[in-house]
Structure 1
Amino acid sequence: LLAKNALMEPIDMQELMVRGPRNNIEELRIELYEKVNALGIGAQGLGGLTTVLDVKVKDFPTHAASKPIAMIPNCAATRHIHFVLDGSGVAELVAPKLSDWPKISWSAGATARRVNLDTVTREDIASWRPGETLLLNGGMLTGRDAAHKRIEEILARGESLPDGVDFRNRFIYYVGPVDAVRDEVVGPAGPTTATRMDKYTEMMLNETGLLGMVGKAERGPEAIVAIKKHRGVYLMAVGGAAYLVSKAVRSSRIVAFEDLGMEAIREFVVEDMPVTVAVDANGESVHKTGPREWQSRIGKIPIAVQV
């Protein structure tokens, strides 16, 4: 409960550091904040100066033999709304003014590489490097946990995949999109956590002819070994921006497993969908190289140099 309460507190680390700590709890907050950011993990785990925006610490009397600890990480896109229920009637929530937010323009940058998913080859992906920005164009299939499990069962029985489900020289996007409303092509379509598909990666790369995967966050050792073995690739889409990602989807249709609802296999046609090369064909992961580089830049943690 204390940890959940902490999530509702305002982000005030910068103000605290300016005025200085007044007690042991505030000293601990600053210490943890500085040490975590010195790890160089950064946003999305790609490396950077800022890994956490704030650290909250709550304490409460407890038996000396217990000392329970609860820790809850909050999303960097922290969103709060406050209201009071006092029995006088329905709480009124005031809608935020869009004018309160700065106007943001987005550009992929001059070094971003456009990729045609309909013609890309294994030789092409061999040249991609961790941390590189790609703009995906063309068709790719989607699938999450339930779809992968069903694919595994079908292949184990020696049967063919359904018509329209051909992964040869194609990419799969780990997503379960929300239903479209009004004139939307598809609802919010942000990536799901890729590590849940790690146990299926060897099967997909070895038995279906899949070239690569698009998902959220890092891959575990099991998946990285399979990617390196089959000279595949893993691309990371932007997490926490599902609505914005959906704007890159130009068409969407269900091709198999419609009974799975949002986890059905779909074919997306995308235009300039931004992704980052997270694991290249050599098995090099940006979630290892990025933080390591930033640790050395920040210079607060000794770095072991491999000769």
Structure 2
Amino acid sequence: MNAGQAPLSRKPHGSGKAAKQKAVFLIVAIAPSLLGYVLFTLYPNIMSVYYSLLEWDGLTDAKFVGLDNYAYLFKDHFVWRALYHNLIYIVVVPVLTVLISLLLAYLLNNKSYRENAFYKVVYFFTNVLSTVVVALLWSFIFDGTFGLLNGFLELFGLDMNDFYWLGDSRTAIWALVIPMVWGGVGLYVVIFINAISAIPKSLYEAAHLEGARPMTILFRITIPLIRNVIRVCVVFVVLGTLKGFEVIMILTNGGPEGSTDVAGLYMFNLAFGKEAHSYGYASAVGMLLFVILVGAKLIIDKAYPEKEVEF
């Protein structure tokens, strides 16, 4: 090598082998999740788009009808009735669920109750129960003859005359809100407790020294500092309420007279109900619901954008 000439750079021995090992490791680590996503999410969604263009009952040969299912979709008043019920639920259920969860989490995190650990277990217990168990539990509570709700009202002198809360179209849709909220509060209480516990105690101590009231601290300190967590929870509750129908199916199956039907349940009954199956049209309803879900997510992102919060 001549003087003043820079030495040639050489790759360290084994660097190529290490890169290959890293690539193999990443493939092995990602492949199961990617395969599961393709098989159970991406592929069914693609096939749903295809099925929505067919007239098919699942048994006979499918007939390609193009956009006819979508044309009929906009004339089907049952779909719009179901979506109207969805709208009621996504306005009422997320508001009640988030507000109740936030208030309970705030009390448990900032009040020195001796039973705090017990309360946390009790609130989360509803999430341990399956949806079927929750629905059956509330079916007994709403029962007209032996129901706990009517028995409780009778203690205050209100004789309901064996009134069945889920059998009347005036009360059924509102009665279903209760198990939906009750079944979801526990999870969000735990989430909000963890979020609130991350807020520095010095902020609360300074607020107490300034004479701030509990509600002032809640709305001026706690909520602004965990707004991103609240935003995520609102998204989860709204999307879960839009696509969920299990509790409604078990308790009322959309009745009485369709007064509690929702889009997800209507789609399910079209495809798997006791009457004639219509997988093609059910897939078209599913595509409409998918568009609404995406639209709801975009609206939430626009109306309640994520902001960086510093303690």
TM-score (norm 2): 0.23
Higher strand share: 1
Higher helix share: 2
Higher RCO, 1 vs 2 (CA within 8 Å, ≥6 residues apart): 2
**Which structure has the larger Rg over C-alpha atoms?**
2
TM-score (norm 1): 0.23
